[in-house]
A and B are shown apart, each in its own frame.
Chain A
């Protein structure tokens, strides 16, 4: 196959401002054309049918060893509308799951469980994990602040049990 000749226009574009006169430019251009004529002699030998078949077999074999369903699957998911619709469906499912069963990020103990306070008109009862930890020797300990009247000073007592509830303890604090 012969190469495409370098046109004079292209030659001028490549070598603009390199020559002082039109004659020099044409002379140089002709010398480049002679180079192209020489290059024409560099023929590329044809690839034989056997070699073509061998290359095809080798290149193709490894691809077709994988079952073609993978191509079908890839092709299926390459449709933009389908991918978009699938994205929306998956997004909706995720939102629904998150809204209906929110993830508990509050940890194992809430503030209420740490310390529960029961109020009555003349008493306040404190119980919960903090009190349990503070008096570990008691079962179900609670601290009760009681007032005999509106202006009476509060009396603090610790209530709890020992020995699996057999002994009930009231301790003045």
Chain B
């Protein structure tokens, strides 16, 4: 919960459980940016992010009636978001493979550019990073994102992904190695 928020999440959740739609809107506005950020980095395809975010909130509102306030809403939301985004990404990749069985990869325009060109524009940089992130598995990527972009601890990530802390460390280690290998010398900073 944000420290400046006068109404705690728990109070809003109780109001939502009693049918208060304004409380739902308040809760949504408080957390939607974080949900969007996590979905964006896991799903990677900007055209799919809005649907993924919507799927997360559908689940959240559907399950909120049974949510027990003895645990952190933010942690629960992170878990719902990460797992929904992982599932969404896998589903989307299957569909994309089916659609592009001709072999055209929609996210590799940047890879076709002249490699000698060091002055990549912003869109191209985004594309390169997205490609690099896409080379690692979705579980590795999620662990990496939650650790370094959402500042979650290894234990929290393990709980979120339903795996051991050792598995999370392995995911992050492999992500770091793969990203460094993929991005080495590709982008001027």
Q: Which listed residue (B18, B50, B125, B176) contacts A72, Cβ 8 A? A: B18
Listed by A's residue number, 7 A-B pairs whose Cβ atoms lie within 8 Å are: A32-B180, A35-B179, A45-B40, A58-B58, A59-B57, A68-B19, A75-B65
- Which of chain B's residues have a CB closer than 8 A to the CB of A52? 28-29, 32
**In the assembled complex, A8 has its CB within 8 A of some CB on chain B:** no
Encode contact with B along A42-56: 1 for CB under 8 Å, 0 otherwise: 111111000110011
We find that the number of chain B residues with CB closer than 8 angstroms to chain A is: 48
Q: Are B17 and A75 in contact (CB under 8 A)?
A: yes
Rounded to whole angstroms, the CA-CA distance of A33 and B126 in the bound complex is 18
Q: Are A74 and B65 in contact (CB under 8 A)?
A: yes
Apart from A32-B176, A35-B184, what 5 extra A-B contacts exist at CB < 8 Å? A4-B147, A14-B173, A59-B28, A60-B24, A72-B19
Q: Are A44 and B36 in contact (CB under 8 A)?
A: yes
Residues on A lying within 8 angstroms of B by beta carbon are 1, 3-6, 13-15, 31-32, 34-39, 41-47, 51-52, 55-56, 58-60, 62-64, 67-72, 74-75, 78
- Which of chain A's residues have a CB closer than 8 A to the CB of B46? 45
**In the assembled complex, B25 has its CB within 8 A of some CB on chain A:** yes
Dominant secondary structure of chain A at its interface with chain B: helix
Q: Which listed residue (A43, A60, A67, A71) contacts B18, Cβ 8 A? A: A71
- Which of chain A's residues have a CB closer than 8 A to the CB of B99? none
Top 3 closest A-B pairs, CB basis? Answer: A68-B19, A59-B57, A42-B129
- Which of chain B's residues have a CB closer than 8 A to the CB of A60? 21, 24-25, 28, 57, 61
Q: How far is the CB of B129 from chain A (nearest CB, A)?
A: 4
Rounded to whole angstroms, the CA-CA distance of A139 and B176 in the bound complex is 98
Q: Are A1 and B37 in contact (CB under 8 A)?
A: yes
A1, A32, A35 — which one has the most chain B CB atoms within 10 A of its CB?
A: A35
